[in-house]
């Protein structure tokens, strides 16, 4: 999926990539390739383009829609999870200038919501986005901050009884077939407080025998 070299055509190509990422009918593998291509050229092509201000509007509308309407995923190898993480990372890499200021309130509102539902890797990126935007723009008080602080308080109040599950060494989860992951994922997430490997007796189609399940943010607060 190599982009053309003409700057205008390049940006039109990236615009079509963003549209595809928000298309529910597009294949997850195609979405991941598009997100990877954008991420690799984010600073050197997209942000430096004279079309960047107009492109940013298209990008933010679709990125926020994808993150808000899409479901979080907890298997690291899933293409859709890797795409969501790349989208969050690209938001974090956006220049904190006047062009972005218009979207700060929407971004912060969504990031605060994602903190409660996303997986461990994505939550770290969400926190980086929140910290950076507050540092650069010093936004006015958001009512959702109160809800976030209550959530943090809950995490700390529940921490003593969850400490063993968080810090004690745990063996990898063993399954006969990777198909068991989807069947048991919800139950495993309730007892998963850190990133945990899953080993399979049977190889996956790509030849792998191990995957990784990530902790749910709420599982870190409530046992």
Q: Is 2 within a domain?
A: no
Q: Is 148 within a domain?
A: no
* Contact in structure between 188 and 173 (CB atoms under 8 Å): yes
Of all residues in the chain, the percent with pLDDT exceeding 70 is 81
Q: What does the pLDDT look like over 78-132, one tens digit per residue?
A: 899 999 999 999 999 999 999 999 999 999 999 999 998 999 899 999 999 999 9
Provide the whole-model pTM: 0.81
Q: Is 146 within a domain?
A: no
Domain co-membership, 98 together with 179: no
Query: In terms of Cα–Cα distance, which of 91, 195, 95 is closest to 136?
Result: 95
Residue 55 CB contacts under 8 Å (≥ 6 apart), including other chains = 11, 14, 15, 46, 49
Q: What does the pLDDT look like over 7-53, one tens digit per residue?
A: 889 999 999 999 999 999 999 999 999 999 999 999 999 999 999 99
Q: Which residue segment(s) compose the domain that 179 sits in?
A: 161-220
Tally the domains of the chain: 2
Task: Write down which residue in 109, 140, 171 finishes a domain.
Answer: 140
Cα 59 to Cα 44: distance, rounded to the nearest angstrom: 17
Q: Is 183 within a domain?
A: yes
């Amino acid at each position: 999926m190599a982009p053309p070299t003409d700057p205008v055509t390049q940006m039109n190509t990236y615009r079509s990539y963003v549209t595809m990422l928000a298309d529910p009918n597009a294949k997850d593998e195609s979405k991941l390739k598009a997100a990877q291509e954008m991420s690799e050229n984010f600073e050197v092509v997209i942000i430096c383009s004279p079309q960047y201000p107009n492109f940013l509007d298209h990008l933010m509308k679709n990125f926020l829609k994808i993150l808000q309407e899409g479901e979080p995923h907890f298997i690291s190898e899933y293409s859709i999870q890797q795409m969501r993480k790349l989208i969050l990372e690209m938001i974090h890499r956006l220049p904190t200038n006047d062009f972005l200021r218009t979207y700060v309130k929407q971004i912060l509102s969504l990031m605060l919501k994602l903190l409660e539902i996303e997986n461990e890797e994505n939550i770290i990126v969400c926190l980086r986005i929140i910290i950076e935007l507050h540092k650069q723009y010093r936004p006015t008080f958001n009512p959702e901050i109160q809800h976030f602080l209550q959530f943090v308080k809950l995490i700390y109040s529940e921490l003593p009884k969850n400490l063993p599950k968080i810090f004690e060494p745990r063996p990898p989860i063993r399954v006969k077939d990777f198909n068991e992951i989807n069947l048991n994922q919800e139950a495993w997430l309730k007892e998963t407080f850190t990133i945990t490997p899953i080993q399979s007796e049977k190889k996956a189609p790509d030849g792998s025998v191990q995957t990784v399940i990530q902790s749910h943010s709420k599982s870190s607060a409530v046992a």
